Amino acid sequence: MRDKTDLKRKLHSIDGAGYKAYKDIKGEYKFDRYVLAIDHVQGDPFASPSKVRAIVSQKDAGFPEALYDKPYKRIGVIDFLTRLFFNNIKKYYNPTGGSGKSGLISIDRCGQEILDRTSVVINRDRVEVRFEVGLPANGRRVLGKYADMIFSSAIPQIIEKTLFYNNIDTEALKKHVDLCEDQAFLRDQIKSKGLVAFIANGSVLPRESGISDRPLSKGVIPFKSPESLEVEINLPHKGIIKGMGIPEGITLIVGGGYHGKSTLLHALELGVYNHISGDGREYVVASKDAVKIRAEDGRGVEKVNISPFINNLPNGQDTKSFSTENASGSTSQAANIIEALEVGTDLLLIDEDTSATNFMIRDERMQKLVAKDREPITPFIDKVRQLYKEKGVSTILVVGGSGDYFDVADLVIMMDEYMPKDVTNNAKEIVKANPLKRESTEALEFGEITPRIVLKSGFPEGHKGRDIKAKGMYTVLYNKSQIDLSYVEQLVDSSQTTCIAVMLEYMIKYIFNNKTTLKEAIDILLNQIETKGLDSISPYTGNPGNLALPRKYEIAATINRYRYEFGNSHIIQAKGL
């Protein structure tokens, strides 16, 4: 193995040469306390930066195994070290210019959520950090001495202050890992207590702005549970916390406009993830299988059995195997629910504001005007109870305009100036005093959730093979097809989308076989990742440093929104084989 002096010598020797000369520095170099691996060298100063790793033996790094001996603790350490490396770049390095991405040092950037990432690897043998370096140039000429400064001075300082246990704030690391453990414990506890969600007293739910997920700092009203819903839970590190427990069943969140209904629901939809200290939602958790549902006009739908909600369309279209290039509000919302049920959700989160009105409710007057045999939609209000009784799937629903849902609700929470009140008894009194006059269209059973099989032939190669890549947080490009994830609201990080693109490529190559159902295929993928790690599915040899693990629901949502040539399927119903 070459050493750091060889790298220095090479960089000085190519100073002023054409940019392609950098290709010779690819490889591994022994530094004093770590190995530096340059895995990929960019071909141009304007291209994606070069991929670099630093590997430290655990004997030298010295991280106690007790910090990472469980998956959620390991994720906490990865998150902490990724953030620390990012901050140390800013602390110990000041780029001095050049062409394109010259002088850039970067690592996967973390948000408010704590996600399983590939930016750092930690185990009994080693600690490894994966990052990117923009090899510096003047025009398209190598700035070798500048590159030497990066590799011999800046990067060693950053590594020393990040990957060696004795050089970091060990108490801060322990607190970060303890918080991850508490949140994982809390999510398990709510399930054992028959709850689907929990919001701790003192939580700060409002966000800084529509484009910032940081907590609002001014004029905040801390969350306080109504006494009737208050639950006490004893966490391993935090100790006893109290807050509002939302039980299984059907829960309504009501209240006037701007009183915090949607803010509460938004906190719950992101309660499937752990959050960093200071976020305000550290102890806001929801079932890990909670799925946010909304209408999504214009999305493609492929072979989904939406008949539990929609039947007898005027054009005779089959709703037991429904396909469309351009779904309406009602058909898209029906498809979104059925697709979530197909993969295994146990909690639906729905906001009236982003729902199709005709899908959610059909009131008495409209029933009188439009005869039952002329209305193909069975509204959600007539299915939500069956969904819970038959499928064990709970619903938390924000409503502001329809009291008809009082009849089917188990719990009604009113948000009043961001403070929750249990008004279930009030709602039931209103029901008694004002009996429902609309005719229920509820059927005897909810209906069938038909599994579907993904067809490998539905993902053809282009002229140069398959080109699958992410573009930001809400787009996956498959060859020339654009998969729009704008309304997949529980995606929180662009690295999750990058990971989904990698996952899709892997499943096409190794899992889709025209026999395996969508749910089975995703389960096979996630089981492999659980046993072998995210690296095992990555095509990026040695350095897949920008992947963050998504949930199975967001993976399925991507496959479901892929548009093959209309009339040709990429997915079919299992019973059709």
Q: Which amino acid is at 523?
A: D
SS (H, E, C) 506-534: HHHHHCCCCCCEHHHHHHHHHHHHHHHCH
**What's the CA gap between 68 and 180, in Å, rounded?**
11
The per-residue pLDDT of the chain, averaged, comes to: 93
Degrees (nearest 5) of the Cα angle 53, 54, 58? Answer: 130
β-partners of residue 274 are 114
SS3 state at 327: coil
Tell me what pLDDT residue 576 has.
Answer: 47
Degrees (nearest 5) of the Cα angle 291, 292, 294? Answer: 135
Tell me what pLDDT residue 564 has.
Answer: 77
Please report, for residues 92, 150, 437, the alpha-carbon distance to residue 52 in angstroms, rounded to integers and kept in the order given.
18, 12, 68
The bridge status of strand 284-286 relative to strand 120-122 is unpaired
Please report, for residues 88, 105, 268, 330, the alpha-carbon distance to residue 94 in angstroms, rounded to integers and kept in the order given.
11, 10, 40, 53
Tell me what pLDDT residue 285 has.
Answer: 98
Sign of CA dihedral 315, 318, 322, 328: positive
Degrees (nearest 5) of the Cα angle 458, 464, 470? Answer: 70
> Nearest to residue 285, comparing CAs of 388, 193, 196?
196
Tell me what pLDDT residue 539 has.
Answer: 84
Please report, for residues 246, 248, 309, the alpha-carbon distance to residue 396 in angstroms, rounded to integers and kept in the order given.
9, 9, 19
> Nearest to residue 159, comparing CAs of 62, 56, 26?
56
Degrees (nearest 5) of the Cα angle 49, 538, 67? Answer: 90
**What's the CA gap between 93 and 103, in Å, rounded?**
10
**What's the CA gap between 310 and 377, in Å, rounded?**
5
Q: What is the DSSP letter of 462?
A: B
Q: Which amino acid is at 472?
A: G
Each residue's pLDDT tens digit, 400-441:
888 889 999 999 999 999 999 999 999 999 999 888 766 666
Q: Where are the domains of the chain?
A: 2-168, 173-245+277-286, 290-433, 452-576
SS3 state at 396: strand
Extract the residue ranges of the chain whose pLDDT is less than 50: 576-577
Instruction: For residue 533, count CB atoms less than 10 angstroms from its CB and return exposed for 0-12, middle for 13-18, buried for 19 or more.
Output: middle
**What's the CA gap between 267 and 521, in Å, rounded?**
30
Structure tokens at 561: 């929104």
Structure tokens at 178: 């303890």
